[in-house]
C-alpha cells in the first residue's frame, strides 16, 4: 500500500475533524454537511499523493468514518454548552432568584452543622422528608457544593441577571462534566447526519481508490 498516500489520507482525516470542531466552536452550531467535506479531505489527501486501488479506497473510507465521528464529538463539545445555556436561560425566572435569596438568608441563621439536615429538608436540597432520613453523603455533598454558593449569595447579594448568568454557567458545567461526548454524538445523530456521512464515506472511497 502506498505509504505516502496513507499519510495524506491520515492528514486529511485529522484536518477534517479539526475543521468540524473549529466551525462548531466559532458558530456555536453543529453543521452536519461538514461530514461530506471531511470525506473529500481524506480521499483528496490520498489522491494528491497518488493513492489508488480498492484497498486505498477502503482505508480512506475507514479513516473518514473515524474523522467524521471525532469531528462530531468535537462539535458536540463546542455547541452543546451553548444550546443548554439558551434553554436554561429561559427556564430560570425571578421566582427562582427570590427562592435562592431566602435560602441564603435562612442559611446564615444556622449556628452548627448539625442543623444542615433540617435545613436541607425545609429548603428542598434533598428528597428526604425528615432530617433523620438525610444521609451523611448528602450532607457532605451539600457542604461541598451548596454551602459555598449560599454563603457567596449572602455576601455578594447579586442582582437577578448576574445571579441567573452564574446559575446557568454552574448548571452547564455540571451537565457537561457528566456528559459522554461519544454518547451525546450518537444521540444527536439525525437523518441528515446519516446522509452527509454516507456522502463523505463515498467521496473518501472514490477519491482514494481513484474511481472516476
**pLDDT above 70 for 1:** no
With cut-offs at 50, 70 and 90, classify the pLDDT of residue 42: very high
pLDDT in tens, 123-140: 999 999 999 999 999 999
pLDDT band at residue 187 under the 50/70/90 scheme: confident
**Is residue 29 predicted with pLDDT exceeding 80?**
no
Q: How does DSSP classify residue 113?
A: G
pLDDT at residue number 31: 83
Q: Can you give the pLDDT at residue 212?
A: 61
Residue 107 — pLDDT band, cuts 50, 70, 90?
Answer: very high
pLDDT in tens, 47-73: 999 888 999 999 999 999 999 999 888
Q: What is the pLDDT of residues 141-184, one digit of tens each?
A: 999 989 999 999 999 999 999 998 888 888 888 888 877 888 88
Does the predicted model carry a pTM greater than 0.85? no
| pLDDT of residue 78 exceeding 90 | no
Mean pLDDT (the chain) is 89
Q: What percent of the chain has pLDDT over 90?
A: 58
Once rounded to an integer, what is the mean pLDDT over residues 106-127? 94
Amino acid at each position: 500500500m502506498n505509504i505516502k498516500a496513507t499519510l495524506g489520507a491520515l492528514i486529511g482525516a485529522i484536518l477534517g475533524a479539526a475543521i468540524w470542531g473549529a466551525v462548531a466552536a466559532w458558530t456555536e452550531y453543529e453543521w452536519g454537511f461538514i461530514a461530506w467535506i471531511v470525506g473529500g479531505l481524506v480521499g483528496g489527501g490520498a489522491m494528491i499523493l497518488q493513492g489508488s486501488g480498492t484497498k486505498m479506497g477502503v482505508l480512506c473510507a475507514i479513516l473518514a468514518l473515524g474523522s467524521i465521528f471525532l469531528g462530531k464529538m468535537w462539535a458536540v463539545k463546542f455547541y452543546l454548552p451553548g444550546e443548554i445555556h439558551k434553554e436554561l436561560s429561559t427556564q430560570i425566572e425571578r421566582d427562582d432568584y427570590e427562592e435562592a435569596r431566602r435560602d441564603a438568608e435562612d442559611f446564615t441563621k444556622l449556628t452548627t452543622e448539625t442543623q444542615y439536615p433540617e435545613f436541607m429538608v425545609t429548603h428542598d436540597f434533598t428528597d428526604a422528608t425528615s432530617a433523620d432520613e438525610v444521609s451523611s453523603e448528602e450532607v457532605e455533598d451539600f457542604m461541598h457544593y451548596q454551602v459555598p454558593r449560599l454563603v457567596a449569595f449572602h455576601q455578594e447579594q447579586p442582582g437577578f441577571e448576574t445571579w441567573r448568568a452564574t446559575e446557568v454557567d454552574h448548571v452547564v458545567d455540571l451537565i457537561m462534566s457528566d456528559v459522554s461526548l461519544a454518547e451525546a454524538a450518537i444521540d444527536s445523530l439525525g437523518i441528515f447526519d446519516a446522509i452527509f456521512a454516507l456522502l463523505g464515506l463515498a467521496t473518501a472511497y472514490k477519491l482514494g481508490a481513484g474511481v472516476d
